[in-house]
Structure 1
Amino acid sequence: MVAVGALFALAIYSSTSAAPALDSNGGQWIRENPNQDKFLGISWDAAAGVVNKGRVGRFLVPKQVLEAKTRKGSDIQSDMVVLFQESWCSTMDGNTLADICESMCPLYYGGAEVKYRVNNIVNLHGANIVNAVKLEDVKASIFD
Structure 2
Amino acid sequence: MNKPEAESTYQVWYCNRCDKACKIQPPTIKPGCRCANPVPGVRPTLVTQMAQMKPRPVQALTEEEARLRSLARKDQRVTVTYEAEVSKAWLRADANGAKRIQFIVTTPDGRRHVVDPSLPGLHVEAAPEGERPVVVVTVIGGLL
Per the TM superposition, whether the score is higher than 0.5 is no
Between Structure 1 and Structure 2, the one with more helix by share is: 1
TM-score calculated relative to the size of structure 2: 0.23
Greater C-alpha radius of gyration: 2
TM-score calculated relative to the size of structure 1: 0.23
